[in-house]
């Protein structure tokens, strides 16, 4: 008997109705109204506050920073190029962070004293330095020594910083796979490397996807810090535009919105992937 | 059917977990083609004993030889040896992210480097043998416990193992599924496979065992052919244990 079976007439007495007030509060419409009132209130307060300061809103000047269409044709604006830079920077740093994080997690789980010591040393070192200081170390100290520019200093700094967090995600994901899986893999003659590759890691993916998304979002956001060494990404571009135009309210609102759109798209995309994995296993 | 050559030999083997003495001076051997059933109270070291045979655990002293190879932690031969020795676990331990067919072929393909088509043919042959050929493309979670355990048996057989170890293979099963697994094991015994089975299924033991072993407190207390083991065990501990599990 399914819910869509319209011929179904229950023999039992219907359940007592809920309180009318409780039904209203739980309804979707009520949630949307409440949400709109709160957001609208905040926007109104900000806006009227700015009016009171005599702030001169110039939203009409914002679109040109995304793209312009002139006699020369279509051209991307500064915010768009900055966004692309932010995305390539974050993506490269994230890829490196995943590799480094996996390596650290495997070293730590290897059971060999030397490897564990190396991994723990790396983790504690990075974990106890503020991100900003780490960035200065990479740019002012390691950069000149090893000969990389500000762009690569940013990427490496972000990669190292996030590798620490990602290695914990890997470690938890690997440990979440039951011990019996190791035993079964071992008992059919697999080496440790084969067991990781074919049995353990594929199963850990399911446990790791949600926190990994969180890390990817975190990466996009913390990439803003590289504006302090003037890498021309989104935040730096925002600052540059403001120093030319003094439109700080419009630009910061816009930059914040762009970050939000990117991270939201990331979260939604991954939740689709997650659902696929949930069905497969 | 049983040859005389010992394929598994424990010679004064001891095993510790930290300070805990889990196997005490074990000396026993299993002939090629022999079916040995091991029983004993929980915690007596039965699992430890058979897990040492394929190096899932390593003993601390004494000599353990399996198929002519000495088992110890750094042995270069340990991976090859594990291919010769199949193991069936109480909790099945199928790979949940792989289909039944992939569960059976991953070992042959990745470890034994058999071609995928040959591995699949072998896998289908053994699925037939354990009577679930129609489940090949399902994931383990979609199978009943009894079916999962039969897949696990087939997975070991696909490695063309010469020795099969069973660690309480029916203990996690609902009662109505126990026999479908035991039937498969009886058939396997009839093919002349060397088997070491930890189980409390005494009906099965009577049917297939060449040798019964009773363990208690990390020691082998009694080793006897089933006729004598069930009718006239030498030790009082063994008799008490049998009384306990046979009267219900
Ligand atoms: N990995 C381990 N670490 C420490 N003690 C263990 C471990 N495995 C088993 N033991 C101990 O060794 C004894 C024998 O265990 P086991 O061989 O599993 O017994 P059985 O299979 O007969 O129930 C038990 O007391 C158990 O607590
Ligand atoms: Mg046990």
Q: Please tell me the predicted confidence (pLDDT) of residue A3.
A: 54
Q: From the alpha carbon of B45, which atom of ligand 1 is closest?
A: 17
A34 burial (CB, 10 Å; 0-12 / 13-18 / 19+) is exposed
pLDDT at A280 over 70: no
Distance from CA of A116 to the nearest CA of B (A): 20
Give kind and range of the element (H or E) at residue B88: strand B85-88
Tell me the per-residue pLDDT of B171-204, one tens digit each, with 9 for 90 and over. 999 999 999 999 999 999 999 999 999 999 999 9
Tell me the per-residue pLDDT of A187-244, one tens digit each, with 9 for 90 and over. 999 999 999 999 999 999 888 988 998 899 999 999 999 999 989 999 999 999 999 9
Q: Which ligand is nearest to the CA of B40?
A: 1
Sequence length of chain A is 281
Tell me the per-residue pLDDT of A31-73, one tens digit each, with 9 for 90 and over. 899 999 999 999 899 888 888 888 888 889 888 999 888 888 8
List Cα–Cα distances, A189 to A142, B13, B55, B117, B166, in angstroms. Answer: 45, 23, 10, 20, 17
Q: Among B90, B97, B122, pick the best mutation site for testing chain A contact (most A Cβ within 10 A).
A: B97
Residue with tokens 């609208």: A40
Q: B149 in ligand 1 pocket by Cβ < 6 Å?
A: no
Nearest CA in chain A to B156: A188
Q: Which ligand is nearest to the CA of B171?
A: 2
pLDDT at A2 over 70: no
Q: Which ligand is nearest to the CA of B46?
A: 1
List Cα–Cα distances, A131 to A64, A135, A212, in angstroms. Answer: 33, 6, 19
d(CA B248, CA B241): 12
Tell me the per-residue pLDDT of A82-140, one tens digit each, with 9 for 90 and over. 999 999 999 999 999 999 999 999 999 998 999 999 999 999 999 999 999 999 999 99
pLDDT at B120 over 90: yes
Nearest CA in chain A to B160: A188
Average pLDDT, rounded, for chain B:
94
CATH topology of domain A85-246: MetI-like fold (1.10.3720)
Least confident of A10-24, A166-180, A189-203, A205-219: A10-24
Q: Do B82 and A186 touch (CB under 8 A)?
A: yes
List Cα–Cα distances, A274 to A69, A208, A267, B141, in angstroms. Answer: 40, 10, 10, 18
Q: Which residues surround ligand 2, an ion (CB under 5 A)?
A: B 47
pLDDT at A5 over 90: no
Q: Is A186 on the interface with B (CB under 8 A)?
A: yes
Average pLDDT, rounded, for chain A:
90
Q: Do A180 and B93 touch (CB under 8 A)?
A: yes
Q: Please tell me the predicted confidence (pLDDT) of residue A10.
A: 85
> DSSP of chain A, one letter per residue?
--TT-TT----SPPPPPPPHHHHHHHSHHHHHHHHHHHHHHHHHHHHHHHHHTT----GGGSGGGTEEEETTEEEE-HHHHHHHHHHHHHHHHHHHHHHHHHHHHHHHHS--HHHHHHHHHHHHHHHTS-HHHHHHIIIIIIHHHHT--HHHHHHHHHHHHHHHHHHHHHHHHHHTS-HHHHHHHHHTT--HHHIIIIIIHHHHHHHHHHHHHHHHHHHHHHGGGGGGGT--SHHHHHHHHHHHH--HHHHHHHHHHHHHHHHHHHHHHHHHHHHHHHHH-
Distance from CA of A198 to the nearest CA of B (A): 8
Tell me the per-residue pLDDT of B205-214, one tens digit each, with 9 for 90 and over. 999 999 999 9
pLDDT greater at residue A276 or residue B121? B121
Q: From the alpha carbon of B168, which atom of ligand 1 is closest?
A: 21
Q: Is A184 on the interface with B (CB under 8 A)?
A: yes
Q: Do residues B221 and B214 make contact, with C-beta atoms less than 8 angstroms apart?
A: yes
Instruction: For the full predicted model, state whether its pTM sits above 0.90.
Output: no
Q: Using CB atoms, pick whichever of A184, A186, A191 lies closest to residue B95.
A: A184
Q: Please tell me the predicted confidence (pLDDT) of residue A118.
A: 95
ipTM for this model: 0.93
Q: B202 in ligand 1 pocket by Cβ < 6 Å?
A: no
């Amino acid at each position: 008997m399914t819910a869509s079976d319209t011929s179904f007439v229950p023999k039992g007495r219907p359940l007592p109705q809920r309180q009318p007030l409780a039904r209203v509060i739980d309804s979707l419409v009520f949630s949307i109204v409440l949400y709109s009132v709160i957001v609208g209130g905040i926007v109104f307060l900000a806006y009227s506050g700015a009016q009171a300061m005599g702030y001169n809103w110039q939203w009409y000047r914002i679109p040109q920073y995304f793209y312009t269409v002139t006699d020369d044709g279509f051209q991307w604006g500064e915010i768009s190029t900055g966004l692309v830079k932010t995305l390539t920077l974050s993506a490269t740093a994230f890829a490196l962070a995943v590799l480094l994080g996996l390596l650290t997690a495997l070293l730590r789980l290897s059971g060999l004293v030397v490897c564990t010591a190396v991994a723990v040393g790396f983790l504690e070192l990075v974990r106890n330095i503020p991100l900003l200081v780490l960035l200065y170390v990479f740019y002012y100290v390691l950069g000149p020594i090893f000969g990389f520019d500000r762009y690569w200093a940013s990427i490496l700094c972000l990669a190292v910083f996030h590798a620490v967090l990602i290695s914990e995600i890997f470690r938890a994901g690997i440990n979440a796979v039951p011990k019996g899986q190791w035993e079964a893999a071992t008992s059919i003659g697999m080496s440790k490397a084969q067991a990781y590759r074919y049995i353990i890691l594929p199963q850990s993916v399911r446990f790791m996807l949600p926190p990994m998304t969180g890390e990817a979002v975190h990466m996009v956001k913390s990439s803003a810090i590289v504006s302090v060494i003037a890498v021309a990404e989104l935040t730096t571009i925002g600052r540059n535009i403001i120093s030319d135009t003094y439109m700080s309210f419009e630009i910061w609102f816009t930059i914040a919105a762009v970050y939000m759109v990117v991270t939201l798209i990331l979260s939604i995309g991954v939740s689709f992937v997650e659902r696929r994995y949930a069905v497969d296993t | 059917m049983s040859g005389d050559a010992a394929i598994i030999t424990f010679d004064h083997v001891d095993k510790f977990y930290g300070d805990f003495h889990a196997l005490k001076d074990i000396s026993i051997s299993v002939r090629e083609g022999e079916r040995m059933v091991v029983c004993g109270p929980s915690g007596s070291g039965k699992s430890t004993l058979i897990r040492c045979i394929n190096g899932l655990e390593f003993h601390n002293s004494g000599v353990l030889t399996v198929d002519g190879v000495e088992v110890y932690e750094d042995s270069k031969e340990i991976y090859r040896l594990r291919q010769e020795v199949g193991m069936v676990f109480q909790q099945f331990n199928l790979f949940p992210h792989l289909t039944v067919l992939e569960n059976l072929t991953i070992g042959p393909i990745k470890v034994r480097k058999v071609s995928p088509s040959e591995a699949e043919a072998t896998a289908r042959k053994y699925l037939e043998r354990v009577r679930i050929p129609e489940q090949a493309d399902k994931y383990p979670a979609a199978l009943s416990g009894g079916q999962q355990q039969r897949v696990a048996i087939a997975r070991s057989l696909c490695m063309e193992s010469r020795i099969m170890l069973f660690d309480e293979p029916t203990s996690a099963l609902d009662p109505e599924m126990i026999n479908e697994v035991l039937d498969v094991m009886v058939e396997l015994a009839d093919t002349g496979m060397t088997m070491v089975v930890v189980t409390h299924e005494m009906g099965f033991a009577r049917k297939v065992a060449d040798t019964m072993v009773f363990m208690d407190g990390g020691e082998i207390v009694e080793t006897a052919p089933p006729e004598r083991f069930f009718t006239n065990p030498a030790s009082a501990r063994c008799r008490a244990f049998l009384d306990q599990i046979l009267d219900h």
